[in-house]
Amino acid sequence: MMLEADKLCAWYGAAQILFDVSFDVGRSEVVALMGRNGAGKSTTLKAIMGLVGRRAGGVRFDGTELLRLETFQIARLGLGWVPEDRRIFTDLSVRENLDVGRRPANGGPAWSEERVFELFPNLAEMRERPGGRMSGGEQQMLTVARTLMGNPRMVLFDEPSEGVAPLVVERMAEAIVEMKQLGLSVLLSEQNLHFAALVSDRVYILEKGHISWSGAMRELEASAQVQRQFLGV
């Protein structure tokens, strides 16, 4: 197993958001975390990265327990995080943004500036542009590229299809497929069933901080009843 969460709990201040969430992601597997707004999808990813106030339970990444580590140590183990609000450094140019993400290869495939520009040709044309003067879609691509520069072995992907143009969504799907082919594991938080179905092998559904359903992507696609019960609005 690449990532194993064992009864993971997380709090923001006094409010508990995650309750005994357990799941796992295998090597070069793409797993989707689905669920409605506020179910705890983003919080799960942040809890793995050590970005919530308090955590309990356990998360192991490639055998290493993450709960006692600081965020930068977790990242250095080879975990990349693509936040939903992108969090581009707006004062820095595209190049500089990539430079912040750069880390030596750590058993995973080695990415270079040139290779991420191959994956996202748009970015190659705006190397010196400040992050603040890019469109939402361009920022989304830069966020993914910045994460890949860290040569992660696994990527936590938060809502890549939200709020960007269909063309960018397509690029995101391609990027995930390419990562999988390179042997990376991906944990994807997603509300869009169509997008998730395109790239994921398995699904966990979160509801109010609990895992309420899990299974193969095919099963979820086949069951209108499960979709209605857990994902319908």
Partner 1 sequence: MNGLANASSLFFLSAGLSLIFGVTRIVNMAHGSLYMLGAYIAYTCATSLGGVLGFWGGVLATAAALALLGALIEIALLRRIYHAAELFQLLATFALVLLLSDVVAALWGVEDLLGPRAPGLRGSVEILGRQFPEYDLFLLVVGPVVLVGLHLLLTRTRWGTLVRAATQDRDMVAALGVDQAKLFTAVFALGAALAGLGGALETPRQPANLGMDLSALGDAFVVVVVGGMGSIPGAYVAALLIAEIKAICIGLGTQTIAGIPFNFSKLTLVAEFIVMAVVLIARPYGLLGRAQGMPRHAAAIQDPIEPAGRRARLLALAVLAALLCVPLLAKASPYTLVLGIDVLIAVLFAASLHFIAGPGGMHSFGHAAYFGLGCYGAGLLLKLAGFPMAGAIAAAPLVAALGAAIFGWFAVRLSGVYLAMLTLAFAQIVWAIVFQWEALTGGSNGVLGIWPTAPFNSAWVYYLLVLALTLAGVLAMRRILFSPFGYAMRAGRDSPLRAEATGIAVLKVHWIAFIIAGTVCGLAGALFAFAKGGISPETIHVSRSIDGLVMVLLGGMHELAGPLVGAPVFTLLQDSVMRQTPYWRGVLGVVILALVLVFPMGIAGTIAGWAKRVAR
> How many residues are recorded in the chain?
233
Minimum CB distance to partner 1 smaller for 15 or for 233: 15
Q: Where are the alpha helices (DSSP H) in 7-105?
A: 41-49, 71-76, 94-101
For residues 199 and 168, is the Cβ–Cβ distance under 8 A? no
Residue 53 Cβ vs partner 1, minimum distance, rounded to whole Å: 9
Residue 103 Cβ vs partner 1, minimum distance, rounded to whole Å: 5
Token pair 């072995």: residue: 153
Residue 200 Cβ vs partner 1, minimum distance, rounded to whole Å: 23
For residues 67 and 59, is the Cβ–Cβ distance under 8 A? yes
Minimum CB distance to partner 1 smaller for 13 or for 63: 13
Which is it for the CA torsion 60, 111, 196, 89, positive or negative? positive
Residue 89 Cβ vs partner 1, minimum distance, rounded to whole Å: 5
Question: What tokens does 115 get?
Answer: 């290779």
Minimum CB distance to partner 1 smaller for 188 or for 220: 188
Residues lying near partner 1 in the complex (CB under 8 A): 13-14, 49, 51, 70-72, 75-76, 81, 83, 87, 89-92, 96-97, 99-103, 146-147, 150
Distance of CA 167 to the CA centre of its chain: 19
Minimum CB distance to partner 1 smaller for 82 or for 231: 82
Minimum CB distance to partner 1 smaller for 5 or for 98: 98
Residues whose CB is less than 8 angstroms from the CB of residue 164 and which lie 6 or more positions away in sequence, other chains included: 136, 137, 140, 172
Residue 233 Cβ vs partner 1, minimum distance, rounded to whole Å: 26
